[in-house]
Structure 1
Amino acid sequence: MSVNTNQINPPSKLLLALEARGIWELQAFFALYPLLRRAPRGDGSPVLVLPGLSASDVSTRPLRTYLKAQGYAAHGWKLGQNRGPRPGVEDAMEARLSELSQRYQRKVSLIGWSLGGIFARELARRLPSAVRQVITLGSPFASEPKASNAWRVYEFLSDRKVEDWPDREGMKLPPPAPSTAIYSRTDGVVAWQGCREQASSTTQNIEVEGSHCGLGHNPAVLYAIADRLAQKEGEWRPFDRSGVRGLVYPDPDRREDNCASFFRSRSFAS
């Protein structure tokens, strides 16, 4: 589905209010944990998880705990609160990635939530030889800068204008490693249209039902992540959403459904 990312509006106020669903999704994570443990298991490979705007490694602890239980060496970024691309942050992330790659003598899978996903994609461009694959969770790498309900928070925390991110057009291009973009059409923080990867032989979009704030512990997201990480290095293939999986993972290339259109209708836009 082709989307003009230069004409995307932020999610409606109703969708923003519905971000409280993240609490229910955390409860669902604990309730469904025994089922999630049946997902494909890992091979001990390293995974670096990057948090979203204003968040820290605390926010990604459920995800990292799950990945460790599945057999991965999952790590946080250890840079405190994500306040945006401040001086030294990019170099510190690159050093963290290099350290993990050298420690395990293997390529590292990068998972980034929201702004963390944008960082992950750019990190893969800076150190392509150290990256196994990239997975983004609700990351608006292809959006117009203000197609978000968090752009003011970004400017406050980073002390820079949201439009000042360098090479915004280049940011939309797939990174030099297999890339999976996971997103929700009912995301209340960022416009989902800008969270989708361009089509290629090593990219894929996976749609889930849920909130932006719950993406890091949404059971459907965690299962999809486990499926992506379990692939052998160099043997990346698209996510299989056939059969029963189609009930949990909607077709990402369908047209907007009536429910999502209703939530974004003009009556809720102001």
Structure 2
Amino acid sequence: MKSFRRVQGSTGSADLRYRLALAREPKPRDAGGPPLRRLLAETQVVIEPVRRLARNLEIAEADNPRKVMLLPGFATHPVRMRYMARQLERAGHKVKRWGLGFNFGPTLENFEILERRLEELYRRYQEPVYLVGWSLGGLFARELARRHPEMVAKVVTMGSPFSGNPRANNAWRIYQFITGHSVDSPPIAGDAGSKPPVFTTALWSPRDGIVSPRSACGKAGERDRAVALRCTHLGFAYSEESIRAVLRELDEG
């Protein structure tokens, strides 16, 4: 597929035109994302803080506390995963941020920082780390595990588009505009569908309004296990069933 490549040194209006061109690329016919009704359902995230006031999750203490790194989704900050982090910590797990702030896509520089962050946690605790990645954060987690399997105990992805056409979602145009690169040509080399050499679980949902459920579920050979939930895409970060699914994955080791 034709893709635009940025001219080295381009700035200002030239860079804006380039990003707009990326955002206007035609969508392939075989890359259908979730329907509009699913996308609209994602707006329920605005009332989640109110719902949370009436929620009282009973969290059992983990038999084997883990060291966990949470990797946020595209254009989100680790604070969006704070609620999940607190529930995992209530079970006794030690939860760490990824150390990069907002997730505005991969670059050579931020991935090197992330690799150093993983190595730091691995050496500090003298044991492999569990990586839990939401959406784009799951792609980072899979690539980290491919490069450093000795430092990763398990990868859990939540609504991450690692399988099939990278345009099979409702966010690829804004992704290309913000990152300045095509989803077909990310700056970090790697095969998103290639299974990391560690146990990998894919949490996916037929109610996902942003990423195609097929892309998040993956095929046999691209992950070790796929678990279907009933949450929205944004709900992966806060829904009770998502939190409990992650707790189960940590308990199983």
TM-score greater than 0.5 by the shorter chain? yes
Q: Measure, in 2, the Cα distance between the counterparts of 1:27 and 1:95.
A: 38
Aligned length: 224
C-alpha change, 1:173 and 1:229, in structure 2 (3 Å) is: same
Q: Is 1:221 aligned to 2:249, yes or no?
A: no
TM-fit CA distance, 1:118:
0.5
Q: Measure, in 2, the Cα distance between the counterparts of 1:28 and 1:180.
A: 28
TM-fit CA distance, 1:14:
1.6
Identify the structure with bigger relative contact order (alpha carbons < 8 Å, sequence gap 6+): 1
C-alpha change, 1:109 and 1:30, in structure 2 (3 Å) is: farther
TM-fit CA distance, 1:90:
1.1
Picking from 153, 156, 179, the partner of 1:158 is 179
Picking from 112, 116, 141, the partner of 1:91 is 112
Q: Is 1:52 aligned to 2:81, yes or no?
A: no
Aligned-residue CA RMSD (Å): 2.1
TM-fit CA distance, 1:16:
0.8
2:212 maps to amino acid: A
Q: TM-score, normalised by structure 1?
A: 0.77
C-alpha change, 1:95 and 1:147, in structure 2 (3 Å) is: same
Deviation per CA, 1:133-179, whole angstroms, max 9, x where unpaired?
000000001131211111122112211112213666x3212111111
Q: Is 1:21 aligned to 2:82, yes or no?
A: no
TM-fit CA distance, 1:128:
0.6
CA contact (8 A) 1:173 1:198 kept: no
1:67 aligned partner: 88
CA contact (8 A) 2:163 2:219 kept: no
Picking from 191, 209, 212, the partner of 1:188 is 209
2:20 aligned partner: none
Unaligned runs of 5+ in 2: 1-28
2:32 aligned partner: 9
Q: Measure, in 1, the Cα distance between the counterparts of 2:49 and 2:227.
A: 20
Secondary structure class of the residue paired with 1:91:
helix
Secondary structure class of the residue paired with 2:235:
coil
CA contact (8 A) 1:182 1:205 kept: yes
> Is 111-120 or 171-180 further displaced after alignment?
171-180
For residues 181-260 of structure 1, the aligned pairs below 5 Å read 181-199=202-220, 203-232=224-253
C-alpha change, 1:43 and 1:193, in structure 2 (3 Å) is: same
